Structure 1
Amino acid sequence: MSLLELALVAVAGFAAGLVGFVTGLASIVSYPALLAVGIPPVAANVTNTVAMVAAGAGSVTNSASALAKDRRALVPQAAICVAGGAVGAAILLAAPAASFAAVVPVLIVIASVALLLQPRLREHAGDRTFPVLYPIGLFLVSVYGGYFGAGAGVMVLALNLICTSQSFWRASILKSFLLGLANLVAAIGFAFFGPVHWIAGLVMGVGAFAGGWCGPPVVRRVDQRYLRIAVALCGFGLAAWLAIR
């Protein structure tokens, strides 16, 4: 890879890390950048998964104290995401690449609509926390996150905001932590069995860590109403892009 291509990958990594924490749409920035520098689709997919582990690490590093307040509840959620990420990685390595292509845009649209309706849905839910729906949804989204991941952040964000009474900021932190675990276990599998482009992955990972680290303070300062609407609109755009590409 040329120096210009490496610079593009690093900048895309930073943007993906920041955008990923704020909106949950990291892969819509990072994956096309890897394709643009000539990496084949499957290799770009697994390389992107490896690099985005750093984005989660960056955001968690800058919000560790907030996560530590709820360590007991995080343990089962973390186990669910690790299991889901492993299943998703196995599907990617064993199943046809287009196996999720038809359903993913629909899932992202549903998650985006749920974000727009979140205040009303949460109002109807009251104090309920959906102890069965939440872990099932978390597992399924983690499977998708380990498989490809574009839009997985929107899905987890919607799941957290509707199934719990957490703030947008807290839901964003949990989203980065939990999807980061799904990405991590998938990345470990890809490191041994997938066509990872290690130079691009490491360079993008450095940028992604920096972008992820910058994410929590940005989200904390933005009005949550506008941010929720912006994420939903970006989700619609991602669903359209995935449907027609």
Structure 2
Amino acid sequence: MSWWEALAIFAAGIAAGGINAVVGSGTLITFPVLLGFGYSPVTANVSNTIGLVPGSISGAIGYRRELAGQRPRLLRLGLASLLGGITGAILLLTLPAGAFKAIVPVLIVVALVLVVLQPRLARGLAARRAGNGTPEEGPRHGGALLWVAVFGTGIYGGYFGAAQGVLLLALFGVFIAENLQRMNAVKNVLAAVVNGVAAILFMVVADVAWWVVLLIALGSVIGGQIGAKVGRKLPPTALRAVIVAVGLIAVIRLLL
């Protein structure tokens, strides 16, 4: 590895860590860089996943204030992410490299529509619950349907993970009546769980480029702190706009 390749991977790690803390989709920055330097898709994916774990933790720590009082929610949804991440990592090691290629852009587009419509959907759900005599905020942690959806997102995250954060934020916006920044904090923790459990499995059984892991890890830790500081200052409308913009870029990149 030349010094400029190392610098490029480190810089990509910073960018990925930052965008993951704010929205998600950092993989769409680091993964193409690794492919461009000649790493195989599976080795690039595995090394990228391991390297981004410290950045995910860094982003979660940066949002620690917004995590206050959310321990029961984190435990409930964290279990779904844990099981999904294990499943997705196993699928990565057993399925063809392009198994999810066709469905991923569709998932992201659906998520973006949900993000855009989230305020209207939330008001509609609240009105329906009020009409049925149920609590206006609905299930505090989103109910069984959200748990299953988070599990499914964990499978995708363990397999590839690009725009995992967009999918999670879209689901939270529909199923949980909560401040968007607090949901973003939960998203960071769940992403760290998925990446972390997948990374453990990969380190045991997969081919890992450890210098790549180190460079991405160092960069993503820095980026995670920067992203948390920037993201938590964005008002809900601006954060929603960033989510949509990043999601559209993700769709375009995946289709090209």
Aligned residues: 244
Aligned partner of 2:30 in structure 1 is 30
Matched residue of 2:25: which SS? coil
Q: Gapped runs of 5+ residues in structure 1?
A: none
Aligned-residue Cα RMSD (Å) equals 1.3
Deviation at 1:160, TM superposition (A): 1.3
Alpha-carbon distance in 2 for matches of 1:160, 1:35? 32
For structure 2, the residue ranges without an aligned partner over 5 or more in a row are 127-136
- 1:222 counterpart SS class: coil
Give the alignment partner of residue 128 of structure 1, picking from 138, 141, 149.
Answer: 138
After superposition, what is the alpha-carbon deviation per residue over 1:182-235, rounded to whole angstroms, capped at 9, x for unaligned? 110001111111121110111111110111122222112122212212311321
SS at match of 2:143: coil
SS at match of 1:117: helix
Q: What letter is aligned with 2:138? A: R
Whether the aligned pair in 1 keeps the contact of 2:15 and 2:29 (CA below 8 Å) is yes
Are residues 1:81 and 2:93 paired? no
Measured after TM superposition, the shift of residue 20 of structure 1 is 1.2
Q: Which residue of 1 aligns with 2:183?
A: 171
One-letter amino acid of the structure 2 residue matched with residue 121 of structure 1: L
| 1:44-102: CA deviation from partner (whole Å, max 9, x where unpaired) | 11111111111111112223343242212211211111110000000000111111111
Provide the residue aligned with 2:159 in structure 1: 147
Structure 1 partner of 2:3: 3
Larger radius of gyration: 2
SS of alignment partner, residue 96 of structure 2: coil
Aligned to 1:187: 199
Could you tell me the TM-score, scaled by structure 2's length? 0.91
- Pick the aligned partner of 1:223 from 224, 235, 242: 235
Q: Are residues 1:211 and 2:234 paired? A: no
2:214 is aligned, of 189, 199, 202, to: 202
Percent identity over the alignment is 35
Structure-2 residue corresponding to 1:108 = 108
- Paired with 1:85 and 1:185, the residues of 2 have a C-alpha distance of 6
Q: Deviations over 1:143-176 (max 9, x none)?
A: 0000000111100111112211122211111111
Cα separation, 2, equivalents of 1:190 and 1:147? 11
User: Which segments of structure 1 move beyond 6 Å, counting only runs of 4 or more?
Assistant: none
Counterpart contact for 1:81–1:182, Cα < 8 Å: yes
